[in-house]
């Protein structure tokens, strides 16, 4: 047993394989006036993408920043470091002095899906994906870096796809960011090399040390060589006399030269859209094909496409020959698509001055250590000065301490007095503000009353003019129904007190409507009525029995029914003034809650009731 225990060893941890798959170095905010705003928008786009990734999990509060379209609602001061782990690790570091923001997401392998949603392959146990995103403001431009690193378990031989971050599509589509790879925008479309200047620009971009994306060159209208003739078929035709003329026959005219077929081009726009940020796509028109070959040394003859790597990665060239037929075109397009997507895998890419999480965290720690050392050195120097001063000026220090203590006592006393004065001033300011608010309120009420009195002078003196006046004066608050207009016109001229009628309509359109909308209470309503009109107005409901007995009086065609036509609508309230027939006034109305408007349906007389 002891020998077995001595022979036992801990479980070995064999090394796995780690390698980058997708990588991109890009610029944002080129030719834009405020790179810090671009940095902020890029961070907000990243956090929105992260919230979408965590939509089936509990989203931590650190992720809840405004949407990129609402970037004005926050500033760079709102950015915070975070370190979140619930099986998927998300961490970020923000260095405000260096304008560096770096983020890392570590997650286990998830099963991939086809376009129809079916499983493409199961997840690989033990495989981890590490996604790094970094932004940094350098020379008024935001440098952006993206990298996905795969950590394979020991002994794994499972294939691994190259996935472009969905975040990059969001950044490329945001016009406030303007994502570029070198001199070209990252866009879901191909660039055209239709001039010598455009070709020189392409050469400079491909030769730049920071260019990491390959170029896909697609000639427009390139001919495809037809299939070679079968020698056996030629021999059979000769034997049958199909190719040689009979003896004595005149020679056959020469056959017309065969025109090379113009096959359909590769779907450059579709490839540029689906493979955006995997490569940059370029269309070469036939008029520039020879010039392009002379200037770049890349021949396009007979090619459906050419994959040209950047000089920083060796500048390798891969030609995809043109093939006839739809099947050949699709196979070529699929091969090109696969080559483009896997190009960046295991490549070494330069990321400019952008720093990923580990290096950014190292700067944070170095800055913290530098500050700590500076602080300690300042403290030590200060203590030495104090000790030297204390030794040489002991008596002076004692006197200074006594003087300082006396001054401290005086300062404390003065501070208490200042506090008391501040309290008194605060009360005075509060009283002054309340008084001013009251004066302003009174002034506003007096101005409103003066305006109302001016409108009173413009009231009509004839009853037939009242409806038009009321609808104009109280537009959007009170309307007359057709029946009300007719009843008012039919009323005897001396039977209507026009001034009283105008007061009553103003009361309904302003004061009582405010009461219905809940902006004033019943007590305020009574006070306003008494002050404005020097009399009360009473509004009561109409009894259901009266409405049932005399529907022709209490109903008007107003609200729209389900058939799209006006239906009978009950006048459920009425304003009443007086009981004497000579001074009696009744206004029957309903309140349209959707339009928030008083609808006058009958006036000025009393309608029949169940008891009248």
Give pLDDT, residue 432: 76
Q: Indicate the pLDDT class of residue 582, thresholds 50, 70 and 90.
A: low
At the fourth CATH level, which superfamily is domain 187-224+262-341? Glutaredoxin (3.40.30.10)
Predicted local confidence at residue 259, as pLDDT:
40
Please state the pTM of the whole predicted model.
0.56
pLDDT above 80 (res 419): yes
Nearest Cα residue to 547 out of 569, 520, 563? 569
pLDDT for residue 223: 45
Check whether 417 has a pLDDT greater than 70. yes
* CA dist., res. 103 & res. 355, Å (int): 10
Element (H, E) at 391: helix 357-392
Predicted pLDDT of residue 325: 85
Q: How many other C-beta atoms lie within 10 A of the C-beta of residue 232?
A: 8
- d(CA 603, CA 265) in angstroms, rounded, equals 81
Q: Which residue has the higher pLDDT, 134 or 236?
A: 134
Identify which has the larger pLDDT, 228 or 22.
Answer: 22
Q: How confident is the model at residue 265 (pLDDT cuts 50, 70, 90)?
A: low
Answer yes or no: is pLDDT of 264 > 70. no
- Say what the pLDDT of residue 5 is: 60
pLDDT band at 117 (very low <50, low <70, confident <90, very high): low
270-282 average pLDDT score: 95
- Check whether 261 has a pLDDT greater than 50: no
Strands (E), 71-206: 82-85, 89-95, 100-108, 112-113, 119-121, 128-138, 141-152, 180-181, 184-185, 191-192
Q: Are 265 and 221 in contact (CB under 8 A)?
A: yes
Return the percentage of the chain with pLDDT > 90, whole number.
Answer: 60
Q: Which residue has the tokens 């928030």?
A: 596
Instruction: Please name the residue that has the structure tokens 């570590």.
Output: 106
pLDDT tier, 228 (very low <50, low <70, confident <90, very high otherwise)? very low
Among positive and negative, which fits the CA dihedral 475, 476, 482, 486?
negative
pLDDT in tens, 319-355: 999 988 889 899 999 999 999 999 999 999 999 999 9
- At residue 578, the pLDDT reads 79
CA-closest candidate to residue 62, choices 83, 45, 42? 83
Q: For residue range 347-388, what is the model confidence (pLDDT) as tens digits? A: 999 999 999 999 999 999 998 888 888 888 888 777 777 777
Say yes or no to pLDDT of 250 above 70: no
At 469-495, the pLDDT tens digits run 999 999 999 999 999 999 999 998 888
Q: Give the chain's end-to-end CA distance (angstroms, integer).
A: 115
A 10 A CB-CB count for 129 gives 18
Q: Compute the mean pLDDT over every residue in the chain, rounded to the nearest whole number.
A: 86
Angstrom CA distances, 406 to 76, 334, 397, 413, 415, stand at 46, 89, 14, 11, 14
pLDDT(42) > 60 = yes
Q: Which residues neighbour 304 within 8 Å (Cβ) at sequence distance 6 or greater?
A: 218, 219, 222, 224, 265, 266, 320, 321, 322, 323, 329, 332, 336
Percent of the chain with pLDDT over 70: 87
Per-residue pLDDT of 512-524, as tens digits, reads: 999 999 999 999 9
pLDDT at 381: 77
Confidence of residue 243 (pLDDT cuts 50, 70, 90): very low
Q: Is the confidence at residue 152, as pLDDT, over 60? A: yes
Judged against a pLDDT cut of 70, whether residue 254 lies above it is answered with: no
pLDDT of residue 246: 46
Across the range 99-128, mean pLDDT stands at 82
DSSP three-state, residue 572: coil
Closest CA to 308 of 208, 222, 223, 206: 206
Contact between 336 and 271 under an 8 Å Cβ cutoff? The reply is yes
Query: Could you tell me if 323 and 99 are in contact, meaning their C-beta atoms sit under 8 angstroms apart?
Result: no
pLDDT band at 240 (very low <50, low <70, confident <90, very high): very low
User: Parallel, antiparallel, or unpaired: how do β-strands 585-592 and 573-577 relate?
Assistant: antiparallel
pLDDT at 231 over 50: no
The 10s digit of each residue's pLDDT in 70-95 is 999 999 999 999 999 988 999 999 99
pLDDT at 238 over 60: no
Q: How far apart are CA 159 and CA 148, in angstroms?
A: 15
Distance CA 467, CA 185 (A): 66
582 vs 145, which has greater pLDDT?
145
pLDDT > 50? residue 226:
no
Q: How far apart, in whole angstroms, are the C-alpha atoms of residue 351 and residue 209?
A: 10
- The answer to whether the CB of 66 falls within 8 A of the CB of 44 is yes
Measured from the Cβ of residue 284, the count of other Cβ atoms closer than 10 Å reads 26
How far is Cα of residue 261 from the mean position of the Cα atoms in its chain? 49
Question: Contact at 8 Å (CB) between 135 and 37?
Answer: no
Type and span of the H or E element at 87: none
3-state SS string for 296-349: HCCCCCCEEEEEECCHHHCCCEEEEECCCHHHHHHHHHHHHHHHHHCCCCCCCC
């Amino acid at each position: 047993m002891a020998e077995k225990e001595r022979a036992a060893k801990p479980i070995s941890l064999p090394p796995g394989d780690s390698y980058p798959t997708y990588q991109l170095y890009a610029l944002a905010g080129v030719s834009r006036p405020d790179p810090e705003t671009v940095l902020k928008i890029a961070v907000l786009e990243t956090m929105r993408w992260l919230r979408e990734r965590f939509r089936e999990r509990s989203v931590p509060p650190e992720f809840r920043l405004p949407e990129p379209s609402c970037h004005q609602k926050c500033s760079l001061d709102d950015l915070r470091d975070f370190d979140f782990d619930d099986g998927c690790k998300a961490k970020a570091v923000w260095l405000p002095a260096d304008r560096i923001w770096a983020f890392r997401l570590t997650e286990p392998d998830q099963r991939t899906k086809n376009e129809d949603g079916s499983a493409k392959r199961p997840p690989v146990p033990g495989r981890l994906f590490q996604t790094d995103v970094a932004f940094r403001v350098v020379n008024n431009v935001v440098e952006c870096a993206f990298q996905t690193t795969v950590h394979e378990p020991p002994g794994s031989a499972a294939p691994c796809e190259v996935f472009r971050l969905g975040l990059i599509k969001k950044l490329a589509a945001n016009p406030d960011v303007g994502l570029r790879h070198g001199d070209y925008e990252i866009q879901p479309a191909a660039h055209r090399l239709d001039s010598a200047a455009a070709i020189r620009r392409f050469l400079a971009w491909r030769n730049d040390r920071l260019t990491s994306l390959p170029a896909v060159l697609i000639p427009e209208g390139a001919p495809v060589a037809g299939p070679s003739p079968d020698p056996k078929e030629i021999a059979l035709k000769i034997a049958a006399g199909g190719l040689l003329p009979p003896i004595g026959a005149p020679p056959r005219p020469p056959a017309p030269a065969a025109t090379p077929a113009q096959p359909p081009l590769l779907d450059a726009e579709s490839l540029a859209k689906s493979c955006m940020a995997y490569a940059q796509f370029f269309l070469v028109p036939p008029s520039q094909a020879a010039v392009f070959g002379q200037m770049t040394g890349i021949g396009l003859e007979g090619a459906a496409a050419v994959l040209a790597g950047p000089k920083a990665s060796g500048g390798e060239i891969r030609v995809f020959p043109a093939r006839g037929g739809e099947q050949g075109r699709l196979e070529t397009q699929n091969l090109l698509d696969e080559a483009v997507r896997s190009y960046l895998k295991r490549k070494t890419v330069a990321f400019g001055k952008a720093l990923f999480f580990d290096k950014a965290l190292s700067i944070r720690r170095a800055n913290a250590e530098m500050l700590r050392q500076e602080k300690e050195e300042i403290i030590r120097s200060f203590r030495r000065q104090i000790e030297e001063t204390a030794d040489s000026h002991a008596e002076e220090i004692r006197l200074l301490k006594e003087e300082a203590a006396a001054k401290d006592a005086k300062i404390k006393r003065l501070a208490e007095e200042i506090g008391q004065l501040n309290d008194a001033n605060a009360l005075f300011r509060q009283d002054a503000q309340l008084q001013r608010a009251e004066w302003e309120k009174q002034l506003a009420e007096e101005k409103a009353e003066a305006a109302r009195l001016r409108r009173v002078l413009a009231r009509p003196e004839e009853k037939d003019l009242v409806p038009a006046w009321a609808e104009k004066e109280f537009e959007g608050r009170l309307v007359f129904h057709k029946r009300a207009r007719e009843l008012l016109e039919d009323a005897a001229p001396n039977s209507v007190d026009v001034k009283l009628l105008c007061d009553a309509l103003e009361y309904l359109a302003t004061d009582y409507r405010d009461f219905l909308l809940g902006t004033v209470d019943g007590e305020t309503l009574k006070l306003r009525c008494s002050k404005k009109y020097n009399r009360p107005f009473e509004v009561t409901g109409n009894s259901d029995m009266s409405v049932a007995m005399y529907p022709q009086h209490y109903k008007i065609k107003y609200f729209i029914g389900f058939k799209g036509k006006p239906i009978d609508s009950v006048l459920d309230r009425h304003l009443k003034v007086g009981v004497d027939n000579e001074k009696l006034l009744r206004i029957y109305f309903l309140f349209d809650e959707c339009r928030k408007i008083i609808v006058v349906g009958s006036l000025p007389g009393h309608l029949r009731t169940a008891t009248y």
